[in-house]
Amino acid sequence: QKEVEQNSGPLSVPEGAIASLNCTYSDRVSQSFFWYRQYSGKSPELIMSIYSNGDKEDGRFTAQLNKASQYVSLLIRDSQPSDSATYLCAVNAAGNKLTFGGGTRVLVKP
């Protein structure tokens, strides 16, 4: 079983719609959760972090965490073509290791 699992996509959404990305993780003791965005040919950049159950909003981005169900999600509201990228879920699990999922490719179509 993969430690951090994401649907590889591509997730195709029309401009202005909500993109919903999901991530599940296997290590129950995980405490910290992150979303990174990676444009094609570029390096990942951190866009959201979440540490406690519930929702965390930052601009058009909302991260949602449910530790009991071991999933974390990212919502992108009012999606723009500039949001087209691969979104990486990362989980800080046992031993201070940051483990990344394989990423979900998002395509926002004008």
Partner 1 sequence: ETGVTQTPRHLVMGMTNKKSLKCEQHLGHNAMYWYKQSAKKPLELMFVYNFKEQTENNSVPSRFSPECPNSSHLFLHLHTLQPEDSALYLCASSQDWTGVAGELFFGEGSRLTVL
Nearest residue to 60 via CA among 78, 35, 73, 45: 78
Q: Report in angstroms how near the CB of residue 60 gets to partner 1 at its nearest.
A: 20
Q: Report in angstroms how near the CB of residue 4 gets to partner 1 at its nearest.
A: 7
Q: Is 31 in the site for partner 1 (CB under 8 A)?
A: yes
Binders of partner 1 among residues 9 to 28 (CB under 8 A) are none
Among 92, 104, 105, 106, binds partner 1 (CB under 8 A): 92
- The answer to whether 21 and 87 have CB atoms below 8 angstroms apart is yes
Q: What is the DSSP string of 48-87?
A: EEE-SSEEEEETTEEEEEETTTTEEEEEESS--GGG-EEE
Contact set with partner 1 (CB under 8 A) = 2, 4, 8, 31-34, 42-46, 49, 51, 88, 90, 92, 96-103
